[in-house]
Amino acid sequence: MSYTAPIKDMLFVMKDLAGLDDVAALPGFEDATSETAQAVLDEAAKLCGEVLAPLNVEGDRNPSSWKDGVVSASPGFKDAFRQFAEGGWQGVQHPTEYEGQGLPKLIGTPCVEMLNASNLSFALCPLLTDGAIEALLTAGTEEQKQRYVPKLISGEWTGTMNLTEPQAGSDLALVRTRAEPQGDGTYRVFGTKIFITWGEHDMADNIVHLVLARLLDAPEGVKGISLFIVPKFMIDDDGTLGARNDVHCVSIEHKLGIKASPTAVLQFGDHGGAIGYLVGEENRGLEYMFIMMNAARFAVGMQGIGIADRAYQKAVAYAKERVQSRPVDGTAKQPVTIIHHPDVRRMLASMRALTEGARALAYVAAAHCDIAHRHADEAVRTEHQAIYEYLVPVVKGWSTEMSIDVASLGVQVHGGMGFIEETGAAQFYRDARILTIYEGTTAIQANDLIGRKTLRDGGAIAKKLLADVAQTVEALAAHQGAAFASMREQLANGHRALGAAVDYVLANAKSDPNAVFAGSVPYLKLAGVVLCGWQMARALLAAEANEASDPSFYSAKMATARFYAEHVLPQAGAFEASIVSAKGGEGVLALAEDQF
- Residues numbered 15-44 forming contacts with a second copy, rule: CB under 8 A: none
Judged by CB under 8 A, the residue of 64, 101, 162, 164 near a second copy is 164
Judged by CB under 8 A, the residue of 75, 87, 102, 570 near a second copy is 570
What whole-number distance in Å separates Cα of residue 86 and Cα of residue 99? 12
The verdict on 518 binding a second copy (CB under 8 A) reads yes
- Residues numbered 228-257 forming contacts with a second copy, rule: CB under 8 A: 253-257
Q: Which is nearer to a second copy, 119 or 447 (CB)?
A: 447
- Smallest separation, CB 441 to a second copy (Å): 6
Q: Are 260 and 121 in contact (CB under 8 A)?
A: yes
Stretch that binds a second copy, among 19-27, 39-47, 386-394, 509-517 (CB under 8 A): 509-517
DSSP letter (8 states) at residue 337: B
Judged by CB under 8 A, the residue of 238, 243, 330, 378 near a second copy is 330
- Residues numbered 438-477 forming contacts with a second copy, rule: CB under 8 A: 438, 441-443, 446-447
Active site residue 439: yes
Judged by CB under 8 A, the residue of 174, 380, 460, 477 near a second copy is 174
Binding string, 486-505, against a second copy, x = CB under 8 A? Answer: x---x---------------
- Count of chain residues binding a second copy (CB under 8 A): 101
| Burial class of residue 412 (count of CB atoms within 10 Å of its CB; 0-12, 13-18, 19+) | middle
- Smallest separation, CB 22 to a second copy (Å): 30
Judged by CB under 8 A, the residue of 415, 455, 468, 475 near a second copy is 415
Judged by CB under 8 A, the residue of 299, 348, 392, 406 near a second copy is 348
Distance of CA 241 to the CA centre of its chain: 33
What whole-number distance in Å separates Cα of residue 25 and Cα of residue 375? 9
- Smallest separation, CB 67 to a second copy (Å): 19
Nearest to 427 by CA among 310, 349, 344: 310
Q: Which helix (H) or strand (E) holds 252?
A: strand 247-252
Binding string, 52-91, against a second copy, x = CB under 8 A? Answer: ----------------------------------------
Judged by CB under 8 A, the residue of 65, 96, 182, 581 near a second copy is 581
Backbone φ and ψ for 180, nearest 5 degrees, come out as -115, 125
10-13-15-18 Cα dihedral, nearest 10 degrees: -130
Region of residue 534 (left: phi > 0; alpha: psi -120 to 50; beta: else)? alpha
- Smallest separation, CB 86 to a second copy (Å): 32
The verdict on 198 binding a second copy (CB under 8 A) reads no
What whole-number distance in Å separates Cα of residue 577 and Cα of residue 579? 5
Question: Which of 113, 134, 383, 439 is labelled catalytic?
Answer: 439
- Smallest separation, CB 443 to a second copy (Å): 4
- Residues numbered 308-327 forming contacts with a second copy, rule: CB under 8 A: 316, 319-320, 323-326
Q: Are 23 and 367 in contact (CB under 8 A)?
A: yes
Length of the chain: 596
Q: Are 272 and 187 in contact (CB under 8 A)?
A: no
The verdict on 193 binding a second copy (CB under 8 A) reads no
What whole-number distance in Å separates Cα of residue 350 and Cα of residue 536? 13
Longest dimension (CA), the chain: 84
Strands 263-268 and 187-197 come out as antiparallel
Stretch that binds a second copy, among 15-23, 127-135, 230-238, 340-348 (CB under 8 A): 340-348
Stretch that binds a second copy, among 40-48, 98-106, 416-424, 499-507 (CB under 8 A): 416-424
Q: Are 189 and 212 in contact (CB under 8 A)?
A: no
Nearest to 412 by CA among 490, 499, 346, 340: 346
Could you give the residue numbers annotated as active site?
Answer: 439
